[in-house]
Amino acid sequence: MERKPIRLSGTSYAVLALVAEIGEATPYDLKQALTESIENFWPVPHTTFYAEPARLAAAGLLSERQEQHGRRRKLYALTDAGREALARWAGTGSATPPQIRDETLLKIFAGADPLPLLRQRRDWHVAKLAELQTLHDDNPWGLAEDSGPRKTLLAGIDFHRLSIDAMERYMAAFDAAG
């Protein structure tokens, strides 16, 4: 059966990367893994994410099988074509530039009192840093120190540390300006 090529998005590659990392999984398993890893730096809407495994299976990038007993869930695994597509994409030397999309900054731009917003944002970064630091220290997935997921976890930790520092500098600047 000839499969029709599809356009792959960031969500497509996130799903392929998760299946490559955790192995055969249900969409629910993949969403849980996404929440604990990729979603920290690449948020994906739930509705988009849950539809993606079936779309990738229809294109031959994932295989699909249904459990014979129990809840009869669909399980997805990476095919050779999916592995090749992921490797080709990951191996390209370019990536789109990151975008800052922060409602706190938009509200400050629009004239909101900055100090309460900056405190709230700083507190969120403090909580997220603690969560990621715990994941790093406990290493519940047994990730190798030099693995891609472990390195992106460290990047997330650094991001939140830098963001906390930035929020504190902004608060001091706005406080001094009175």
pLDDT in tens, 25-53: 999 999 998 988 888 888 888 888 999 99
Q: Which residues on adjacent β-strands are paired with residue 63?
A: 77
pLDDT(133) > 80: yes
Q: What contacts 120, CB < 8 A, 6 or more positions away?
A: 104
Q: What angle do CA 19, 101, 52 make, to 5 degrees?
A: 25
Predicted local confidence at residue 1, as pLDDT: 52
Q: How far apart are CA 150 and CA 159, in angstroms?
A: 14
